[in-house]
Amino acid sequence: MTSKKMRVERKFSSVRISCLRNFTLIFLLPLVVFGFRAGAQTHTFKELGGSAVGQTITAEAHSEMHAHQNYISDDVLYRFCNGMTTIGNCQGFQPQAGVILDNGSVTAGVLYGTDMGYWGPPCTGVRAGDGAVANPLECDPPFTVRGQAFMYDTNTHQETVIHQFNSFNGDGWNSVSGLIQDASGNLYGTTYGGGSSATGYNNCMGTGGCGTVFEISPQVGANGPEFGANGPDTVLYSFEGGPQGGTMDGANPAAALIQDTNGNLYGTTEFGGLYQNGGTVFVLCNASAATFVPPCSQSDPPWKEHVIYNFGASGPSDGANPIAGLFIDSGGHLWGTTASGGNYNSSYCWDPTGGNTCGTLFELYQVSGGWTEMSSPYLFCSATDCTDGANPAAGLIEGTVAGYLLGTTEWGGMFHAGTVFALNTANTAADYVLYSFCSQADCSDGANPIAGLVGPDASQTVYGTTSGGGNDTCATSPLTLGGCGTAFKFTNPLQVGSQPQTMYKFCKRSNCTDGISPAAGLTLIGTNAYGSIVAGTTQYGGFGTQTVQPYTLGEGTVFELYPCSLICFLVNPQSMAWANVPVGKLGIAKSVMVTNTGTEAAQISSIEITGEFALAKVKNSCVNGGILAAGATCEIGATFNPTQTGFLTGQITITDKAENSPQTVALSGTGTE
């Protein structure tokens, strides 16, 4: 058993890091899984609506196509456990889910996400909060908090923990799914364990409860709604994994929720249900809805849970163990994937239960009084050697052509390292593999996408990540084979002959400070002159604490990717602030790093500073007229020297030959008597 976002650890580590459960992983992968190869190779694409070969493209031609694409610069916004090399009070680690951008209802420019928890001193045997003696379900050294919800403000470049899950008093623990936000700013999510069933769970995988659905609401602030530090959550529902009104309510939700126009919340549970722990699809009914869609009714109490489908009703053929979220189409049908089940067993498949079933794609539609599954869900590994993909770990999105859905599979494909596929909703008897990963030597194009796609944007481009592949910098680490993961984009994916472009290969920086192995998808957060800007997380890397497993090189990152061409300068941080500094005194010197992330050297034309701030000489200073080589970094130092009291602002402006010139750094400080 694994959750959606933690399945990568089955392949990449010999010791389970998460709190979900502990077991030893056998680290043996046949070479055929990744299909390493060199030299000229070909891959084919089906024409949509038929089986004819659309186009054959050699690996060399593929590389040539990539060479003319824009480069992408990586900006690490936040490093979990940054700088910590021993156990200490580490604010969060190993995010398994991605981030979402505030929809404008609370604070523009803020990202929200979840991580695995707070790394603190070993448990003392006294439970936090009420002082009671901890039991094994409540004290799992050295974890003192089992997951957190956080926000990162891209305006101030500050990370704030907005809730700490602790599994006490009915709270959940380990949110491995992403968050969603409603029009009022409320955040909704799921936790894999915890809840009111924590001391009496049944049919739950792991210990400490069967999971929850929760809400985190903004508080009333001086300038409107805001999320404060370490605020409360509201548990809307606790899964019991046992009889609930004559049925089984599901257990261990591993995916994000979706919300319909009536405010109802839909989701999946990996386990539980009526049939052999195969999982469920459920709805939590909004009691304030203007219209009630069965099984929701006006008589339901707030957030009443209804199981709308139990997997296994038709045996294994209808799928099992969904670890992905749902997609709702314009007709109100629910579409999703299961990582297990189906009629096919193959050595090319690796399902979450440790078996060799290959997964399914399903559709649910409303019938009188409830929901039912379409009679023939798509069964992965229907094609010889699973070239159609296997074990989807992510959900679906609307395609770039009407009537098609797009998704990814973690395994299968021509090289058994995952696929991007399309499905015609009018003909679900076959999927269309748009791309098979690991088609390039040493899987330089990526391998094993655990996450789904996001988009399309205005250019008809979708974006995604692979948890492995990209390069060989992780070859000495058991974390990944074939690289530390990639981010990619795919323009007009349904057009015959179109190819994905690798935007970024992780562990590109020394000590993998830019992250290792993204297990979650990307989020569109803006645009510039060259295209869309995206943000995401990596579950390892960042070169923070190494106390969990030394080869992880850190406990994960929040990153941003933005397009440029040949020369792009990155400044970090993008703002600096000084606390109270007496008038006439000099504040401590601080510095910003300037990195040329492009492929050509560029000249720095000028560095200017405004306000009651001054440039300061630091080691490896950037200088006017200086040349910054490709991949090189220099520093700009600054001090705060107030001549008056109050809150004061200024700015550093760097003018250069980079395509994103000028770069700016916001400065602020408070002068005191």
Token digits of residue 79: 């490093």
The reported pLDDT for the residue numbered 66 is 35
How far apart CA 173 and CA 213 sit, in angstroms, is 11
| CB contact set of 242 (below 8 Å; sequence gap of 6+) | 197, 201, 202, 203, 248, 249
Identify whether the C-beta of residue 364 lies closer than 8 Å to the C-beta of residue 281.
yes
Where are the domains positioned within the chain? 1-66+324-510, 99-119+142-314, 571-672
Bigger pLDDT: 47 or 419? Answer: 419
Q: Is the pLDDT of residue 637 over 80?
A: yes
Rounded Cα gap, residues 569 and 601, in angstroms? 10
| pLDDT tens sequence across 359-410 | 999 999 988 878 888 767 899 999 999 999 999 999 999 999 999 999 999 9
Residue 375 Cα distances to 325, 335, 340, 362, 590, angstroms: 21, 13, 18, 9, 64
Question: How far is it, in rounded angstroms, from Cα 280 to Cα 123?
Answer: 35
pLDDT at residue 262 in the model: 92
| pLDDT band (50, 70, 90) for residue 79 | confident
Between residues 130 and 509, the one the model is more confident about: 509
- What average pLDDT does this structure show over 428-452? 91
pLDDT for 431: 83
Buried b (16+ CB within 10 A) or exposed e, 167-180: bbeebbbbbbbbbb
pLDDT band at 658 (very low <50, low <70, confident <90, very high): confident
- Tell me the DSSP string of 527-575: EETTEEEEEEEESBBSSB--SS-GGG-SB-EEEEEEEESS--EEEESSE
Task: For strands 575-582 and 663-672, give the pairing.
Answer: parallel
Q: How confident is the model at residue 5 (pLDDT cuts 50, 70, 90)?
A: very low
Strands (E) across 210-299 are located at 212-216, 219-221, 224-226, 234-238, 243-244, 247-248, 258-259, 265-269, 280-285
Q: Is the pLDDT of residue 14 over 50?
A: no
Distance, in Å, from the CA atom of 139 to the CA atom of 132, rounded to the nearest integer, reads: 11
Q: Which two tokens stand for residue 346?
A: 């193959």
Q: What is the pLDDT of residues 448-491, one digit of tens each?
A: 999 999 999 999 999 999 999 987 556 444 444 568 899 999 99
pLDDT at 663 (0 to 100): 87
| Residue partners of 77: CB distance under 8 A and separation at least 6 | 111, 152, 154, 157, 535, 557, 558, 559, 560
Residue that wins the pLDDT comparison between 51 and 584 = 584
> What's the confidence (pLDDT) of residue 540?
87
Q: Pick from 397, 369, 375: which is nearest to 455 by CA?
A: 397
Q: What's the pTM value of the predicted model, to 2 decimals?
A: 0.79
pLDDT of residue 309: 92
pLDDT-derived band of residue 280, with 50, 70 and 90 as boundaries?
A: very high
Which are the contacts of 50, defined by CB distance < 8 A and separation ≥ 6? none
The Cα 441–Cα 125 span in angstroms is 52
CATH 2.60.40.10, domain 571-672, yes or no:
yes
**Nearest one of 286, 172, 275 to 233, comparing CA atoms:** 172
Give the separation between CA 519 and CA 481, rounded to whole angstroms. 15
In contact, 504 and 446? CB cutoff 8 Å = no
Tell me what the pLDDT averaged over the chain comes to: 79
* Residue 166 confidence (pLDDT) above 80: no
Nearest Cα neighbor of 506 from 532, 543, 458 is 543
Give the model's confidence band at 63: pLDDT under 50 very low, under 70 low, under 90 confident, else very high: very low
d(CA 670, CA 673): 10
How much is the pLDDT for 230? Answer: 85
Alpha-carbon distance of 440 to 421, in angstroms, equals 18
pLDDT at 256 over 80: yes
Confidence of residue 315 (pLDDT cuts 50, 70, 90): confident
According to the model, what pLDDT value does residue 142 have? 42
Query: Which residue do the tokens 């997609």 mark?
Result: 327
Which tokens is 535 given? 């943000």
Helix-, strand-, coil-residue percentages of the chain, each rounded to 5: 5, 40, 55
Query: Who has greater pLDDT, 317 or 258?
Result: 258
Closest to 284 (Cα-Cα) out of 198, 366, 190, 163: 190
In this prediction, residue 430 carries a pLDDT of 76
* Angle, CA of 89, 93 and 95, to the nearest 5°: 155
Confidence of residue 71 (pLDDT cuts 50, 70, 90): low
Q: What is the pLDDT of residue 348?
A: 85
Please give the Cα distance from 512 to 607 (Å, whole number). Answer: 29
Token pair in block for residue 75? 């900006």
Give the span between the Cα atoms of 435 and 353, in whole angstroms: 26
pLDDT exceeds 90 at position 586:
yes
Q: State both tokens at 249.
A: 């309510």
**∠175-238-310 over CA atoms, to 5°?**
90
How many angstroms separate the CA atoms of 345 and 579, rounded? Answer: 62
Distances (CA, A) of 380 to 10, 233, 317, 411, 566: 21, 39, 11, 10, 41
d(CA 324, CA 452): 9
Measured in degrees and rounded to the nearest 5, phi and psi for residue 530 equal: -105, -5
393-397-403 Cα angle (round to 5): 125
Name every residue whose Cβ is closer than 8 Å to that of residue 624 and which is 6 or more positions away in sequence: 604, 605, 606, 607
> pLDDT tens-digit profile of 94-129?
899 999 999 999 999 999 999 987 655 444 444 333
- 3-state secondary structure (DSSP) of residue 94: coil
Quick one: pLDDT band at residue 58, thresholds 50, 70, 90? very low
> How far is it, in rounded angstroms, from Cα 374 to Cα 64?
43
